[in-house]
Amino acid sequence: MRSLKLLVFAPLHGTGGMSVNEGQLINALSKYSESIYVFSFVSIRQIICRQVPKLVFPPNKNVKVIMLPGLPLPIIFLPIIVFYYGLISLFCLVPQKLLNLSVIYVRDRYVGIPMLMLKRITKNPIIIKFGAFIADELSPNVRSSLFGNIFSTLETFVDTYLLRHADIILVSSLTMKKCIEKRFSVTSKILLCPAGIDPDKIRRIAFQKNVKGDKVRIGFLGSLAWWQGVDIVAEAVAIVKEKLPNVELFIVGDGPMGEKIASLCENYKIKYTITGFVSHEEALKYLRSFDVLVLPRRKTSTTESTVPIKVVEAWALGIPVIVTSHEIFRSICKDGEDVLFVEPNPEDVAKKILLLVSNHELKERLAKKGLCLAKDFDYNRTACKIVEKFENLLKEENVIKAK
């Protein structure tokens, strides 16, 4: 199993969830592969100003990371985007041939199109990580506009091309798999690759001292975007505060709704903290200090089919989770046993927060069940299955070539 050589296009610089996820997956894949060469895109401005974020992890010795300038253009410039990343793809053919790389793994979706177009030249299996239906993530206001219609059409074209032409598609859940099969008639080549955890890092954080005083800390972790429901959390805490004066809202993350959330907290006179972007290690330390992680995310195709990494990490650290009753959670969790389900509205969220903090037995039960659930999201197990699939695919292609 150690003979596999991978060429990877994935974001590894920064503190976002995608970078953290890919960093941990690649580190796990490296344990079962001979070598991995990763091209990670950063902005041209960051390169010029020497403000490139650090790698999300110190890579293993058989992982080589190369920075490349990304092209931060909106999807309406799709021909330019494909042309630019096509040039990048052609450039990457040189190390691919010299190093005799066996599989190409693409997480950056716009790189996927030219790489698939060049497959006749590369003659390597191409694996696409499909994270979301981007068109579905538009806010309702944008979706109804002319720009929203153009955006949706182009993003759907990208999704269709990637899903129809990839050799293997990695998805986060069976729910996402069923959704792809229904919308794009793609079946046999889909492989599960859920967001996961690095058990060693989790153990390191779990044994550190936890200091937060006598406050009841209601926590949120993630990007402050409309679909995340962080505004719902703030409004729910305002209701909780009437019965629980020592409550505080602790938000780990940053995003476009940051000012709105701060304004809500000020208006409701809520004790709150918004950390902004922090390293993954720091985020885990904050997460461990929560009394509960609250994620009343609004319902989109992505939230319905994806268990976010922060939920898995909360489970692994023994932190109870309150989450919207998305399809993916209903398929693997029981309400009141593994998590507490809510509808994404302040009243229901406040009700469940008060129920949890007043019931020690419930809190302990959710914490213990979370530890059990987290074991199914070990990236080492996932990586082993993926590498086996890669190698079987290579064997099949070699048999076809021999014929």
Res. 311 pLDDT band, cuts 50 70 90: very high
Same domain, 214 and 284: yes
Question: CB under 8 Å to 321, separation ≥6 — which residues?
Answer: 292, 293, 295, 311, 314, 315, 339, 340, 366, 370
Pair (172, 211) in one structural domain: no
Q: Are 223 and 345 members of one domain?
A: yes
Same domain, 315 and 217: yes
The 8-class DSSP code of residue 318 comes to T
* pLDDT of 15 over the 60 cut: yes
The whole-number pLDDT of residue 188 equals: 66
Q: How confident is the model at residue 109 (pLDDT cuts 50, 70, 90)?
A: confident
206 and 329, same domain (yes or no):
yes
Q: Is 80 exceeded by the pLDDT of residue 187? A: no
Mean pLDDT across the stretch 4-21?
A: 84
pLDDT in tens, 140-168: 777 778 777 888 888 889 999 999 899 99
234 & 161 share domain: no
pLDDT in tens, 36-74: 999 998 877 777 777 677 777 766 788 999 888 888 888
Whether residue 268 has pLDDT greater than 80: yes
Same domain for 77 and 170, yes or no, is: yes
Q: SS3 of 129, please?
A: strand
The larger pLDDT score, comparing residue 280 to residue 321, is at 321
CA separation, residue 5 to residues 37, 41, 63, 212 (Å) = 8, 20, 10, 46
d(CA 39, CA 100): 16
Examine the domain organization and report whether 170 and 279 are in the same domain: no
State the pLDDT at residue 231: 96
Q: What is the pLDDT of residues 203-249, one digit of tens each?
A: 888 877 666 667 899 999 999 999 999 999 999 999 999 999 999 99
Taking residues 355-363, what's their average pLDDT? 94
pTM of the model: 0.85
When the pLDDT of each residue in the chain is averaged and rounded to a whole number, the result is 88
136 and 205 in a single domain? The answer is no
Distance, in Å, from the CA atom of 93 to the CA atom of 121, rounded to the nearest integer, reads 9
Q: Encode 359-380: b = buried (16+ Cβ within 10 Å), e = exposed.
A: eeebbeebbebbeebbeebbbb
What secondary structure letter does DSSP report for 297? Answer: -
**What pLDDT, on a 0 to 100 scale, did the predictor assign at position 335?**
95
CATH code: domain of residue 286? 3.40.50.2000
Type of residue numbered 233:
V
Please tell me the predicted confidence (pLDDT) of residue 262: 95
For residue 354, name the pLDDT band (cuts at 50, 70, 90). very high
Give residue 18's pLDDT.
Answer: 83
pLDDT average, residue stretch 314-337: 95
| 183 and 211 together in one domain | no
Query: What domain range includes position 299?
Result: 199-377
The tally of domains found in the chain comes to 2
> Based on the domain organization, do 290 and 387 belong to the same domain?
no
Buried b (16+ CB within 10 A) or exposed e, 79-97: eebbebbbebbeebeeebe
Q: Could you tell me how many residues make up the chain?
A: 403
For residue 244, the model assigns a pLDDT of 93
Where residue 333 falls among pLDDT bands split at 50, 70, 90?
very high
Tokens of 332: 């693997």
CB 11: neighbour CB atoms within 10 A? 21
Smallest CA-to-CA distance from 23 within 285, 281, 388, 302 is with 281
Q: What are phi and psi of 163, to 5 degrees?
A: -70, -35
Most confident of 56-60, 128-132, 268-272: 268-272
228 and 334, same structural domain? yes
Q: CA torsion angle for 210, 307, 52, 225 (degrees, to 10)?
A: -90
What is the pLDDT at residue 393? Answer: 78
**Whole-number percent of the chain with pLDDT over 70:** 94
SS3 360: helix
